[in-house]
Amino acid sequence: MTEFLNPEFIESVLSTVFDYFKKRVVATPSDRANFDFVLKNDDGKKVAIEVKGQNLNVGQLRKISNSLHHINDIDEFILITPKKPSKNEIDFFNKFLKATFSNSSWLSLADFLKNNYNLEINSKDDLVQLQIAAITSKIDNYSKAHIGNELGDQSTDKEALAKSLIETKQGGVKYSSDFISLRRQFSDSILATLSQESEQLHKELFIGQKYNDAIIVLTDIKNFSSIVTAADPDDLNEAMSKYYSNARDLVFKYNGILDKFIGDAVLAIFNYPKKTTVAYLNTIKFCSELILLGKETFENLLSKMDQSVETGTRVGVSNGPIYTLNIGKGDIEVTFIGDKINFAARLEKNCDVNGILLSNRFFTKLSLEFNSLTEQLDIIGKDLNPADAKGQTMITKSWQIKFEDITKIIDHKTT
């Protein structure tokens, strides 16, 4: 492959393939903050993968080595780059990484896909076709019964993906580009429940309409601008790249919709476009995991800085009507407006660091449906004065979830 492939494109391709094979493990926050991917082999061993450009330096390899030894439970490490490494590059890799972590290897993207999935990739066009094949095959594997539940256990195999890739190359694409473009914001399990026909799809997404009972989540990192000023640009870029990628994965894991990233902030919508009771539980599970991800990410970044910056994640959660807009040019790209989005922002501003501040409406519904969980939590009522909740004219009731209860939320199982 002679075309230029940037690391971001390679990560996108690998993410699609790993999702298809359900290879990505439910990694710890430490895993997510340190590596691009953590997979689990058939024998149960954990494999960490980093995607880099071709020109590596000693500092990058030492960071990887430190992460491997810091986490302890990684069994194998694979470095993936656009092209096959030269002999000099392999010698460099062996000296500064393999010498400290013996079960390490450096592969080109094409070699990795060939060795692990028997996929013949010879060009960038082949990689684009592979993404389409994996996406369409995975969407086919879902049914409407999965919406609001954990991911299904449908089997996927190498032969099926290889066959789908051949069909895609021959023009046998089942889904429109508009439909596939939604994958930037929607999980595959949600896409599987939507119509491919443009007019019907607009109706199912409530575009241009009022949608009731949406759950809005807005998160923010305290003192992020100070971190940006003080951090090494390369360290910051690497940390935030992993943060954005893993935040998106968490939104999709809990059947949410990613509206957008706003700097360090995440705006996600749950209980849309289908209403489900479990969306209320999924929302606070997402918030809890995102807080842990942020904690690990920024503790890791701060360890590489001389300056001390107080930081952490604040999360506001509101519930109510919103309006859906299509702001895409050609493709569909949804965004949302409404007072409840502004209210989520006010809740976030008044939230304790590494906590979740719930609107009274959301808390009431959560308590009714998941009382066995809320009774275990030390949730504290908090009255917000109009001056602290811009746009509100009366005292606003809210409910604070503390960091100490985060693990209980993540571990809670529905009966």
pLDDT in tens, 6-28: 888 888 888 888 877 776 655 66
Identity at 326, one-letter amino acid code: N
CA of 332: how far to CAs of 179, 180, 327, in Å?
8, 9, 7
The residue type found at 405 is D
Check: CB of residue 207 under 8 Å from CB of residue 326. yes
d(CA 57, CA 55): 7
Longest dimension (CA), the chain: 70
Topology agreement, domain 1-117 and domain 205-411: no
Cα–Cα distance for residue pair 145/8, rounded to 1 Å: 33
Q: Which residues of 125-148 are buried (b: 16+ CB within 10 A; e: fewer)?
A: ebbebbbbbbbbbbbebbeeebbb
The matching CATH number, chosen from 1.10.3470, 3.40.1560, 3.20.20, 2.60.40, for 1-117 is: 3.40.1560
For range 172-195, the mean pLDDT:
74
Q: Give the pLDDT score at 141.
A: 61
The pLDDT of residue 27 is 63
Per-residue pLDDT of 285-324, as tens digits, reads 999 999 999 999 999 999 999 999 999 999 999 999 999 9
Torsions phi, psi of 273, nearest 5? -85, 5
Q: Where are the domains of the chain?
A: 1-117, 123-195, 205-411
CB count, 10 Å around CB of 372? 11
At 188 the pLDDT is 78
Q: For residues 249 and 229, give the distance between their C-alpha atoms in angstroms, rounded to a whole number.
A: 27
- Asked if 341 contacts 216 with a C-beta cutoff of 8 angstroms, the reply is yes
Q: Report, as an integer, the average pLDDT of 356-369.
A: 97
Reported as a single tens digit per residue, the pLDDT across 243-294 is 998 899 899 999 999 999 998 999 999 999 999 999 999 999 999 999 999 9
- Is 131 within 8 Å of 16 (Cβ atoms)? yes
What letter does residue 152 receive in the DSSP assignment? P
For the domain made up of 205-411, give the CATH fold.
Answer: Alpha-Beta Plaits (3.30.70)
- Tell how strand 76-81 and strand 104-108 pair up: parallel
